[in-house]
Structure formats: C-alpha cells, structure tokens
Structure 1
Amino acid sequence: MSKRAFGLVDLILHPLVIRRWRRTASAADQVSLGMLRRIRLRALELRQALDRIIFVANGRLALPLIGSNTFPKPLHSDWSWRPQLWRGPIFPPGRAAVESKSDFGDEVTIFHDCRISELTVRQMRNTREEDLAPYGLRLDVFKFDGSFLSLVIELPDSAMRGLTRKHLLRLNAVIETEKKLEIFARVNIQHGPNTEQMVRELPLDDKEFSIDFDLAYTKLNEKRVERAWVDLIFEGPEMNQVMLRDVNFSRRPRAEV
C-alpha cells in the first residue's frame, strides 16, 4: 500500500465521502426502488471491505501479540504447540447453525449429531491482562437434541517425531463456562492399524488447568506412529456458553526412576 494512501488528498476527500453517505442514508426511504437496489449494492461492497479492515485491525492492534506461542512449559519439554485457532485470525471468524464436521482453521473440527443445529461458534480476540493466547473460541449452545458434541484438534506432524512411550503429553487450557459442564479430553494416537486412546475428565471448578497423559500406559508401537488428535468432549452442553480462551500442548520425557 502506498504511503500516500492516507495523505493530504484523503484528508480532504474523507469528510466529503462521509457526508455523501449520510445524505444517502437520510434519503433512503424516499428514493425509487430501482435506485435503492443500486445504493444497497454499493453499500454492501463498501461494508465488506470495511468489515475486513476492522477485523484485521482489531487483531493486529490488540494484545497479546498475534502468532504468539508463549505459554508455560514443563522442564525438559522437547515439543510445544498452540493450534492456529488460538494463535492467529481465521476467516470467517464465526458461524451459526454449525453443521457437523465444520472446520475452523486448519486443525480444529466440530462434530455433533444434532438433527437441527442450534450451535454458534465464533473466534474472539483475547484482551485481558492475564491472557497469553491471542485468540479464543466461544461456543454458544442453545437447544441440543444430539447425544454428543466434540471439538477435535489435529496435532501436527512435529508432535509425532520422536514420540515414545516414555513421553508425557500435557494439555494446558483456559476454559470458562456459563454453568458447570462436564468436559473430557481424549488423546488418540494412530500407529499402523491400531489407535491408542487415553481419556481424562477436566476439573469442573478450575478455569485454568494442566493435565498429563502418560504414554507408558499404552501399547504404542513407536516405529509406526502416523497420526494424533485430541477430542474435547462436552457432556450435556444445552443452554450453555463455553469460552476456550487457550488450548496448547507440550510433551516431555518422563523422569527415569
């Protein structure tokens, strides 16, 4: 973008453009329907550009810094990662009546079995002093006629490199709910034709927590690890709001006894 894009000419033209749109808005209930259609088309084109600018500007000008991968990690961690959805802006930032298998960013997918979806999902900008993740995710659940709702996070290839049964996989999260809600985390690791699974219930009374999954209790074939993902499972989410302000992962080798 040219450095002159908002120079002297813009200072002169901007008030004129604003006045013109204000006059157009005042006269909208008096012009012909044909003219009103043309005005609406121009207004929609303008709004699309403005919405995009405001969305990007809000993200870049607020704290914490976009792209931040900063969070506490256990001593001797050899891998850590924060998914894209909590690290930077996605577009579009939200959806209503979310269908099952809807993707949010490159790594997060929503699954449910509702006949009629009354689930709204929106990425939100974290601006509180205590927030470390640049973004969060808000789920608004109204009527829920399904039997399950889960958020699936696909772990990157780097999580599988060098993964052994001596590792502890840690999930850190900051989750706020409008009312108490049972949430389970399930780690899935595919190795060859088999998939190892470990399930932990998240603490109901803590907004910020860390839980570890000890791979020593699995039958993991270290030479055939192909894929790993984590399910966050919400039990009975009807008429509730869930805000996942941060979700991140790390791993470390278990201390030898």
Structure 2
Amino acid sequence: MRLTDLIEGVFHRRVLRRWGRIAGRAERLDLEALSTLRAKARQIRRLLDRVIFVAEGRLTLPAVGSNAIVKPLYTDWAYRPELWRGPVSPLGIVAVASKTDYGKEVRVYHDCRQTELTLRQTRNSRESDLAPYGLRMDVFRFDGSFLSLVIELPNSAVEGLERRHVIRLSTVVELEKPLEIFARLNVKHGPNVEQIVRELPMGEEDAMVEFDLAYTKLNERRLEKMWLDLIFEGAEMNQIMLRDVVMTRRPRAEM
C-alpha cells in the first residue's frame, strides 16, 4: 500500500505540473491545439465534478443515513421520512404537476392551471441540523387555491396505535416571507378516516404541533394506515425550506 501510494503521489504531481504548464501557455496556443485541449479538459472535469459531488455529500455533516431524532420521554415510535433521511431521484423537479411523486413517500398536490413550482432536495450542513437532507420549494406565480405535500407514513406508524397516544410533528422551517402552514394528520380505520388539523406556529424555525387521539373516534381494531398533509396557504412568490420533518408517538400520561 505504501508503494502504491508513493507511485500515485508521483503521478498526481506530474499531472498537476503538466496541466499547470498547459494553463500557463493557453493564451499563446493556436486555436486547433486549444480546441483539442479543451475537449480533454472537459472530460477530466466531468470526472472530477462527480468525485467532488459524491465526496461532499458523504463527508458533509450530518452524515447521510443519519437518523438522530430528539424524542420526547416515553416515545414508542419515531420516524423521519425518506426525503429528509437519504438522497432521492431526481435531485430536483421543475414545473411540478399535481400528484407528482418525489421519492417514495412524498406527493405534491395543488390546483394550479399553470404551475411555477420547483422542488429540490438540498444537503443540510448547519451545526444544528440533525437531518442529512432538506426540501426546498420555490413558488413563483401561483393561481391555485391550495398547495400541499402528502407524506405517507410506514405501517409501523399504526402498529400498536391507541386512542391514548399523542403524536408530535416536529419541523425545521425557513421562509422567505411569512405564510400559514397547516398540518393535518390522517388515520384510516376501516372505511373511515380520522383527521386532526393543527396550525404550525408562525415565525418559529423549530415548529412543533401535537395531535391527541383521545378526541377522535378511532377504532383501534381496524387500523390500516396513517399519512400527514402539510398545507401551505398563500405560497405565491415564496421560498419554503423544510430542513427537517419528524413524527414521534408517545402514550398520554394517565390521570
């Protein structure tokens, strides 16, 4: 390994010197030679850009795949959706149509006739970030009446779920300008769906709301699935950055 590293180091220094000499005389080269060198340089740059992209993604903290979650006391279930936990494909979407899937768990709904909405998964890198990735939504002209993200939750969300449970949504949200954001929890049991709506506190980057199932008519024996709707009111000409979305569940304290 030491011999291999030594050989690679010598070769690397030679490559740097060669391209350094080329860069130094590029202004004096004839156009035919310059065109040939440009093609070679672009081939090398494509490979270098790919290496740099992967390295920055893997070396930037929080680490990809990290699932560090701040959990309330007695939490018996916690989940960070895929889009905030690991890379999805494609990296971004422009002119997003209604019912567009982004990854396996997130779907966009709106009623725009002509959408000027873009989605992009971004890499979190702040010291305070726990989620490896975030979601940026750029909303320009918006002639619709609603914009929402539907987040499908895994089967584990309803395993052991009871009416005595309190479900907490914790988010980290950055806005270009203030807007109202509502969270609607949906729990399907048999032919019925229980829905609880809460408004996220305005002006708070770390926003949290709770859904108390005690006030529902949940049939614990017929639970099927759970999903979350994030609804954005008056989103036109705004940039919405969701740096983290986490769901946790804990039993209510007995009276």
Same fold (TM over 0.5): yes
Alignment partner of 1:208 out of 206, 209, 222 = 206
User: Quick check: 1:113 aligned with 2:103?
Assistant: no
Q: Distance in 2 between matches of 1:115 and 1:18?
A: 52
Q: Distance in 2 between matches of 1:71 and 1:111?
A: 28
Q: State the percentage of identical aligned residues.
A: 58
Instruction: Give 1:156 shift.
Output: 0.8
Q: Deviations over 1:24-58 (max 9, x none)?
A: x989xx66xxx99xx59x958973x5554333222
- Paired residue for 2:181? 183
Contact 2:168/2:208 (8 A) holds in 1:
yes
Q: Deviations over 1:183-227 (max 9, x none)?
A: 000001111111111100111121112211011111111111111
Q: Distance in 1 between matches of 2:149 and 2:48?
A: 31
Q: Distance in 1 between matches of 2:126 and 2:57?
A: 14
- Paired residue for 2:171? 173
Q: Distance in 1 between matches of 2:216 and 2:51?
A: 48
Q: TM-score, normalised by structure 1?
A: 0.84
How many matched pairs?
250
Instruction: Give 1:20 shift.
Output: 11
- Paired residue for 1:152? 150
Change (3 A) 1:250 1:94: same
Give 1:205's aligned amino acid: G
Instruction: Give 1:114 shift.
Output: 1.3
Instruction: Give 1:21 shift.
Output: 9.7
- Paired residue for 1:131? 129
Contact 1:97/1:119 (8 A) holds in 2:
yes
Q: Distance in 2 between matches of 1:193 and 1:17?
A: 71
Larger Rg: 2
Instruction: Give 1:7 shift.
Output: 2.5
Q: Distance in 2 between matches of 1:192 and 1:45?
A: 58
Q: TM-score, normalised by structure 2?
A: 0.85
**Structure 1: runs of 5 or more not aligned:** none
Alignment partner of 2:232 out of 231, 234, 239 = 234
Q: Distance in 1 between matches of 2:159 and 2:217?
A: 17
Moved more, 231-240 or 87-96: 87-96
**CA RMSD across the alignment:** 3.1
Q: Distance in 2 between matches of 1:16 and 1:178?
A: 46
Q: Distance in 2 between matches of 1:202 and 1:118?
A: 25
Instruction: Give 1:250 shift.
Output: 0.4
Contact 1:59/1:89 (8 A) holds in 2:
no
Change (3 A) 1:208 1:11: same
Instruction: Give 1:102 shift.
Output: 1.9
Change (3 A) 1:179 1:192: same
